[in-house]
A and B are shown apart, each in its own frame.
Chain A
Amino acid sequence: AQRVTQPEKLLSVFKGAPVELKCNYSYSGSPELFWYVQYSRQRLQLLLRHISRESIKGFTADLNKGETSFHLKKPFAQEEDSAMYYCASGGSNYKLTFGKGTLLTVNP
């Protein structure tokens, strides 16, 4: 069974500081990895996916198969980045397994 681990429930940083949200996965095949974000009073939405290798809102995430990690990074955090972040992995059957989430707070 797939498993996604986000070790930090809460993460607090100051504006302008770098931020890294950790995610580790366990999957025997070739997983697809995603980061979803939920801002206050908004619906959960896709932030980025590893296959796209793109930067969204200044966030990037690199798939490290050796460490089975997919950490989300941003060099300079902004207050509007405060949200709940979920890492998710998917296989071939269209369903995603989500981590427990990390609540990021960016302080002014």
Chain B
Amino acid sequence: DVKVTQSSRYLVKRTGEKVFLECVQDMDHENMFWYRQDPGLGLRLIYFSYDVKMKEKGDIPEGYSVSREKKERFSLILESASTNQTSMYLCASSSRGRLLGELFFGEGSRLTVL
């Protein structure tokens, strides 16, 4: 069973803390993505990566950074968490091949910033 695994399901952090969200996929996918999901706003792309050590900004990259040191792992970093970053964060991966657009999602990491 193919899997995208997000290490933390629920996190509570304080304003100003550094936050790491980890995502691992076992499908040997080239592409990996971080979205945030908010009621009424849908899914918004934060960053994506189409290869190791490569990254591209999505639609809302401000306040976030990412790291892709290994093909299977894509990390989202909040350098200094703020309350407006309270959200559900979804990691996804996809193959570069013909199945364009078929994203496989993790279960999500619900972050609360106090």
Chain A positions near chain B (C-beta within 8 angstroms): 6, 9, 32, 34, 36, 43-46, 49, 86, 88, 90, 93-101
Contacts and interface: CB of A to CB of B under 8 A. Distances in A.
A43 B108 CA distance: 8
A6 B59 CA distance: 18
Interface stretch (B15-23, B35-43, B62-70, B73-81): B35-43
A9 B107 CA distance: 22
Contacts of A99: 42
Interface in B94-114: 94, 96, 100-103, 105-108
B105 A88 contact: no
Given A95-B45, A99-B42, A90 B105 contact: no
Given A43-B105, A44-B105, A45-B105, A98 B43 contact: yes
Interface of B: 31, 33, 35, 40-45, 48, 50, 58-59, 90, 92, 94, 96, 100-103, 105-108
Main secondary structure of the interface of A (DSSP, over half): strand
B100 A32 contact: yes
19 contacts: A32-B100, A32-B101, A34-B102, A43-B105, A43-B107, A44-B43, A44-B92, A44-B105, A49-B101, A86-B43, A88-B101, A90-B101, A94-B31, A94-B101, A95-B48, A96-B103, A98-B43, A98-B44, A100-B41
Contacts of B58: 95
A97 B92 CA distance: 13
Nearest to A102: B42
